[in-house]
C-alpha cells in the first residue's frame, strides 16, 4: 500500500495529504525527515490551484450532448452530464515513494506480488525531473513519473503469506463434503442436458464463446439469489444503489484494473461509440466512481453500499476445466462496497472481517460446503492490501472453485479517485479506506448449488432459504422433455 504522502515537487503540482496508518506509518514517518525541504514546498502548493496532470482520453472526456439538447433543450439535461469528465490528480505518497531509503522495501513488496511496477525507474525519473530545465521536457518527464508511480502496487498485509496461489492459507472450512454414491455431474450436464434450463452450446455464431442463456426456472433462480442476498444485506445496514455499467477508462484504471494493457480483462467500446466507454467488470468500479471527488463526514463512516450489476469480463484464458458456466464473459453480481475512516488504522480491517463474516453467513445458509482462504501476495492484484477468497467444492469439476472474494484496498483507490473524509483527530482531510466483497456472483452460485445438491434421480432440491423467492418451489425436476428446437449445423450447398 502506497499510501504515505505529502508532497510532490513544484513541477508535479499535486498535493497529497496522506498519513499512513498503523505499523507502516510509524515505520515510515521517521524516514520522511530527509524530505523536509519538499514538505515546505507543499505548504505553498496547498494554496496553488490544482492543475490537471494529464489530459489524455483516459482522464478527460468531453460531455456527450444529445441531439435533442443540441436543438435547444440543454437545460433539461442534468448539469453533471454537461461537465466533461476529469480524473482527479492521484494523491500518492510522494514523500515515501521518492525516499531512496524506502526503495528496497518497496522493491521487495513488488517482487513478492507479481512484479509489476518499477520503483527504481520512479526514482530515476524523479532525479531527471529535478535536473531538467526545459519546461516541455519537464512536463513529459512528470507524466512519465506519475504513470510509473501509479503502477506501484499497494503494500501487503504483514500476515499475508508470500507466494503464489498454491501458498494460500486455509482459514476455515465450512460444511461437510457429501459422499455421493453416483458419478457426480457438472452444471452443464445437470442444468443443460438434464433440466434443459441452461444453454451454453451452439452460441458461437450469435453471441460468441463463453456466453450462455439461463432459462425458465434457472433464470428465476438467478433473480431469487439476487433478491435473497439483497434482503440479507439490507438487514445488515447496506444501502442499495443501482449503478452505471458504462464507465470511462480513467475510473477503472484508478480502481486498479488496467484498461489499456495488451490482454486487458476490460471490454471497451469503439471510440465512436459513447466516447469509448468501458464496460465495468464489477460494481466495485461503479461504486468507487460514485464517491469520486467526494468528502464524507466522519459520522457517515463506515459507509456500507451494495449494488446489483451486470459484469462484463474479456476473460481470455482458455482452460478446459473452466469451460461451461465457470469462466464467462457476462454475469450478474451483488457487490458489497465499504468506506472507512483511517483513524486508528484498524477500521478497514474490521470492515473486511465484517464483510467476510457476511459472506460466510450467506453461503452457510445456502447449505454450501466451502473454504475460506487468506490469499498470498501474488494473488492480491495491484490494489488489495489483504484479500480473502471463498471457494466451494464443485463436484462435477472435482475442484475448489472461487465463488467470492473480499479485499481491503486501504487508501489505494481513494488516493486515485480523491475520496476523503474530515478527520476529527487532526482536523484535516484524509483519504478514506475502501473495502469490497462479492455477496453473490450468480453463475458460480448456481454451479455450486446445483452441483452440491445433486441427487441420483431426477430431483434437485433447492436450499430452503430460497423457497420464498422461488414462489414456494422447493426443487427442480428433470422431466426429460425433448428440446423444442434443433440447431441447424450445416448449410445448403445450392446457395
x-marked contacts with other proteins along 197-236 as a string, rule CB under 8 A: --x--xx-xxxx--xxxxxx--xx-xx---x--x------
Is position 292 an interface residue for other proteins (rule: CB under 8 A)? yes
Q: Pick between residue 131 and residue 489 the one whose CB is nearest to other proteins.
A: 489
Does 371 interact with other proteins (rule: CB under 8 A)?
no
Interaction pattern, residues 62-81, with other proteins; x per rule: CB under 8 A = -xx-xxxx---x--xxxxxx
> What string marks each residue from 313 to 332 as x (binds other proteins by CB under 8 A) or -?
-x-x------------xx-x
Cell (9 digits) for 118: 518499477
**C-alpha cell of 131?**
535536473
* 14/286 with CB nearer other proteins: 286
Q: How far is the CB of 250 from other proteins (least distance, A)?
A: 9
Closest CA to 306 of 372, 235, 403: 235
Stretch touching other proteins by CB under 8 A, among 35-43, 108-116, 168-176, 267-275: 267-275
By CB under 8 A, residue 44 contacts other proteins = no
Q: How far is the CB of 98 from other proteins (least distance, A)?
A: 30
DSSP string over 155-205: PPPTTSPPSSGGG-EEEEEES-----SS----HIIIIIIITS-EE-SS-TT
End-to-end CA distance of the chain: 62
> Residue 367: left if φ>0, alpha if ψ -120 to 50, beta else—which one?
left
Q: Report, in Å, the least distance between residue 151 CB and other proteins.
A: 18
| Cβ neighbours of residue 292 closer than 8 Å, sequence gap 6 or more | 88, 251, 417, 418, 419
The nearer residue to other proteins, 162 or 246, going by C-beta atoms, is 246
Residues 332-351 that bind other proteins (CB under 8 A): 332
Confirm or reject binding of residue 246 to other proteins (CB under 8 A): yes
Q: Per CB under 8 A, which of residues 80..99 are in contact with other proteins?
A: 80-81, 83-85
How many chain residues are in contact with other proteins, going by CB under 8 A? Answer: 86
**Is the distance from CB of 407 to CB of 383 less than 8 angstroms?**
yes
- Among residues 211, 187, 215, the alpha carbon closest in space to that of 200 is found at 211
248 is a site residue for other proteins (CB under 8 A): yes
Nearer to other proteins among residue 32 and residue 309 (C-beta): 309
- For residues 495 and 491, what is the distance between their CA atoms, to the nearest angstrom? 8
Q: Judged by CB under 8 A, which stretch of 28-36, 310-318, 395-403, 449-457 contacts other proteins?
A: 310-318
The residues, ordered by sequence, that sit 6+ positions from 308 with a Cβ below 8 Å of its Cβ are: 226, 230, 240, 242, 283, 332, 333, 334
Binding of other proteins by 286 (CB under 8 A):
yes
Amino acid at each position: 500500500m502506497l499510501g504515505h504522502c505529502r508532497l510532490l515537487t513544484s513541477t508535479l503540482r499535486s498535493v497529497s495529504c496522506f498519513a499512513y496508518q498503523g505499523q507502516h506509518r510509524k515505520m515510515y514517518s521517521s524516514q520522511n525527515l530527509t524530505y523536509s525541504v519538499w514538505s515546505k514546498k507543499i505548504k505553498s502548493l496547498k494554496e496553488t490551484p490544482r492543475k490537471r496532470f494529464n489530459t489524455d482520453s483516459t482522464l478527460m472526456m468531453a460531455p456527450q450532448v444529445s441531439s435533442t439538447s443540441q436543438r435547444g433543450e440543454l437545460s433539461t439535461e442534468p448539469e453533471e452530464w454537461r461537465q466533461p469528465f476529469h480524473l482527479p490528480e492521484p494523491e500518492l505518497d510522494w514523500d515515501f515513494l521518492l525516499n531512496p531509503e524506502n526503495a528496497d522495501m518497496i522493491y521487495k513488496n513488488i517482487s513478492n506480488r507479481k512484479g509489476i511496477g518499477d520503483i527504481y525507474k520512479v526514482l530515476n525519473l524523479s532525479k531527471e525531473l529535478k535536473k531538467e530545465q526545459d519546461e516541455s521536457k519537464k512536463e513529459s518527464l512528470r507524466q512519465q513519473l506519475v504513470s510509473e508511480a501509479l503502477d506501484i502496487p499497494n503494500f501487503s498485509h504483514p500476515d499475508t503469506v508470500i507466494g503464489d496461489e498454491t501458498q494460500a492459507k486455509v482459514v476455515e472450512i465450512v460444511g461437510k463434503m457429501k459422499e455421493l454414491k453416483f458419478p457426480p455431474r457438472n452444471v452443464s450436464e445437470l442444468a443443460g442436458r438434464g433440466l434443459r434450463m441452461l444453454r451454453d452450446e451452439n452460441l458461437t455464431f450469435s453471441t460468441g464463446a463463453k456466453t450462455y442463456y439461463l432459462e425458465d426456472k434457472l433464470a428465476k433462480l438467478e433473480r431469487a439469489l439476487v433478491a435473497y442476498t439483497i434482503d440479507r444485506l439490507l438487514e445488515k445496514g447496506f444501502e442499495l444503489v443501482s449503478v452505471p455499467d458504462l464507465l470511462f477508462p480513467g475510473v477503472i484504471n484508478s480502481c486498479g484494473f488496467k484498461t489499456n494493457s495488451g490482454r486487458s480483462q476490460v471490454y471497451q467500446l469503439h471510440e465512436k461509440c459513447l466516447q469509448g466507454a468501458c464496460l465495468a467488470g464489477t460494481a466495485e468500479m461503479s461504486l468507487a466512481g460514485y464517491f469520486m471527488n467526494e468528502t464524507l463526514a466522519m459520522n457517515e463512516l463506515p459507509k456500507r453500499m451494495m449494488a446489483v450489476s451486470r459484469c462484463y469480463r474479456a476473460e481470455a484464458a482458455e482452460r478446459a476445466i473452466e469451460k461451461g458456466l465457470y469462466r464467462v464473459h457476462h454475469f450478474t453480481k451483488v457487490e458489497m462496497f465499504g468506506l472507512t475512516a483511517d483513524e486508528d488504522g484498524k477500521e478497514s480491517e474490521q470492515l473486511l472481517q465484517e464483510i467476510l463474516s457476511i459472506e460466510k453467513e450467506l453461503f452457510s445458509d445456502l447449505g454450501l460446503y466451502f473454504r475460506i482462504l487468506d490469499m498470498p501476495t501474488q494473488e492480491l492484484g495491484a490494489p488489495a492490501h489483504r484479500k480473502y477468497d471463498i471457494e466451494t467444492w464443485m463436484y462435477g469439476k472435482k475442484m475448489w472453485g472461487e465463488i467470492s472474494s473480499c479485499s481491503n484496498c486501504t487508501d489505494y483507490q481513494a488516493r486515485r479517485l480523491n475520496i476523503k473524509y474530515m478527520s476529527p483527530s487532526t482536523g484535516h482531510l484524509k483519504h478514506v479506506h475502501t473495502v469490497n466483497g462479492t455477496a453473490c456472483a450468480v453463475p458460480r452460485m448456481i454451479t455450486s448449488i446445483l452441483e452440491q445438491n445433486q441427487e441420483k434421480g431426477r430431483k434437485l432440491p433447492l436450499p430452503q432459504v430460497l423457497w420464498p423467492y422461488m414462489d414456494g418451489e422447493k426443487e427442480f425436476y428433470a422431466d426429460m422433455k425433448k428440446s423444442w428446437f434443433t440447431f441447424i449445423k450445416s448449410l445448403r450447398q445450392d446457395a
